[in-house]
A and B are shown apart, each in its own frame.
Chain A
Amino acid sequence: MNSKTSHNSTSDLGFEGLLNRYEPVIGLEVHCQLKTESKLFCACKTNFGALANQNTCPVCLGLPGVLPVLNHQAVDYAIAMALAVGAVIREKSVFARKQYFYPDLPKGYQITQYDLPYCEAGRLRLDTGKEIVIQRIHMEEDAGKSIHGDNASYVDLNRAGIPLLEIVSAPELSGPQEAYDYLKKLRAIARYLDISDGNLEEGSFRCDANVSLRPLGSQAFGVRTEIKNLNSFKNVERAITYEIFRQADILESGGLVKQVTLLFDAASGRTQVMRSKEDSPDYRYVPDPDLGLLYLSQERVAQVKSRIPELPEGKSLRFQTEFGLTEADARQLTEEKELAAYFEALVAAVQGKVTAKIVANWILSEYLREHNTRHWTWGQQDLSVEAFAELLGLLGDGTISGKIAKSVFEEMVESGARAPAIIHSKGLVQITDKDEIKAMVQRVLEAYPEQIEQYRSGKHKVFGFLVGQVLKASQGRYNPGLVNDCLKEALHEPAKKD
């Protein structure tokens, strides 16, 4: 467990100790922005980063006399999400007004869904196999944004009216790790479906966490606090961890946890109470008289279903059976659908010259390293499948050793040149001449007589060191397998001096 929290526990309970006494109960509420062209109830653009209030119109400005009209695509996206998590879709659901006064809420109410959301009872399976119930998902419009100055705040309504799905999990997550995993999986689904960018930092995927503790073994729920607007996966973990400790401290000292709304301060690593929140405001929900029913017929649902791509869980299982990958590798490869697609394309392109497992290893280590450090995006193709497959082919047919292949890879990425050109210009073709290798082995053994003794007296670890010396002397060009053989032969030669 992450013990690098800045929490200062007065009770000296470590996380392990804490878990022996309390069970954390966590529920997550995710607001997932849908990447439609226009807003939920009007035809304004939804692009991020426009000049303040540029993407507005009478409807989303809440001018007098305006009326909402529902976006068809947003509904299809909502249906897709429901199907992906196996939720039960309600044929007739209702839009409701949730009323409160806030400057970024131009109508003084938000159009959302209340007691008749469009779907309920979905499931998400975590890595551990544990299934988390998704209690409900509903459609709603986003609010605008306020930017705070010293003495005033400034309201930008570009975001007001953008379609959101509010996805509410049951309080079944038992720790920060599970929360992290749940969130990652949910996000992956949203991105696979191509209904959302799923970007926490940009705000297209927002997470609030409800955290409570209860004594181990107890069935009753403890008082829960709500941590709002966690803006990175890391902060979700940190905030929940901190909050668990904070509540444990209170309970350990005999106090009562107060039901408050909190913000997480990333700099200090602590949760802080939000000042202006009242206890459970009265939102006075009422069905919106300006909208009719949200009617989701079986035909419509079937249509959306037919367009749903293979989802992460299914793809991961398929990678395990079809390509013989481990569960861990398959999961990693399927986290992003573009990565999974890249992998599959590369496997096809190498045409069996190396195994899928090797392709997977290469992608998960070499490729991802470059992808992340160089901030590649899937849109701009950084390293083509053809070039990569070419390199792996040369590895597979023995032209180069694995070690050389890695350095060629780096050169390819750096210069954009193709593998054959690099190999030829640098003379990197693998050496398989046994005589030459034997000769080098001899020279190395002569240089390290002690190691020979050590090996012969049973310290077999020194073998690796000797192999390394031979390879080093060849600048990695010797076929490692042959070096192994030759060295073994040399060390086990019966010609020993007494």
Chain B
Amino acid sequence: MSQIDRQTVEKIAGLASLKLSEEEVLYYQDQLSRILDYMDQLKAFPDGLPATWRAELEQAETPERPDRAEPSHVIEKVLQSAPRVVGTAFQVPRIIE
């Protein structure tokens, strides 16, 4: 039984940059717990694959493109509709290092 505790919900929300209300924390705690319990049935399935098998190594080779620069003028449209722009840069609250 993979009971998700409150602290975990809050931690995950933090990682995902989400702010949850009190009801949401409780709601998600319940839903996620039930879903994860259901997911745990995966453990019941025998895996017949060799231990070293990795999905990502089974893919096809990624295609490559020639090293040529091509201009895109999309930025003009993007800057026009971006939330906050100063000059040609996106403005955000002061980043603190």
Contacts and interface: CB of A to CB of B under 8 A. Distances in A.
A and B touch in the complex (CB under 8 A): yes
Interface of A: 36-38, 43-46, 51-54, 56-58, 61, 63, 69-75, 92, 94-95, 101, 103, 116, 146-157, 263, 274-276, 282, 284, 287, 291-295
A284 B11 CA distance: 13
B79 interface: yes
Leading 6 A-B pairs by shortest Cβ distance: A292-B62, A73-B67, A57-B72, A154-B89, A287-B56, A295-B61
Contacts, number: 130
A155 B91 CA distance: 6
A276 B57 contact: no
B78 to A, nearest CB: 6
Contacts of B92: 103, 146, 152-155
A293 B79 contact: no
A36 B67 CA distance: 7
Contact of B15 (A63, A154, A282): A282
Nearest to B58: A293
Contacts of B75: 53-54, 56-57, 61
A154 B86 contact: yes
B67 A51 contact: no
B62 A38 contact: no
A43 B88 contact: no
A56 B88 CA distance: 11
Given A154-B89, A282-B15, A292-B60, A275 B96 contact: yes
7 contacts: A38-B68, A44-B72, A53-B90, A56-B75, A71-B64, A155-B89, A292-B63
Contacts of B48: none
Interface string B40-83: 00000000000000011101111111111111101100110000
A44 B94 contact: no
Given A56-B75, A276-B96, A293-B57, A37 B68 contact: yes
Contact of A292 (B61, B72, B89, B96): B61
Contacts of A153: 91-95
A326 to B, nearest CB: 41
A147 B74 contact: no
B34 to A, nearest CB: 23
Contact of B67 (A74, A92, A154, A293): A74
Contacts of B89: 52-53, 147, 154-156
Given A43-B69, A52-B89, A152-B92, 19 more contacts: A38-B67, A53-B75, A56-B72, A71-B65, A72-B64, A72-B66, A72-B67, A74-B67, A94-B57, A116-B57, A152-B94, A154-B87, A154-B90, A157-B90, A287-B55, A291-B62, A293-B57, A293-B62, A295-B61
B97 interface: yes
Nearest to A288: B56
A146 B95 contact: yes
Given A57-B72, A101-B17, A293-B60, A71 B67 contact: yes
A262 B77 CA distance: 39
Contacts of A148: 94-95
A51 B78 contact: no
A171 B15 CA distance: 31
Contacts of A154: 86-87, 89-92
Nearest to A290: B62
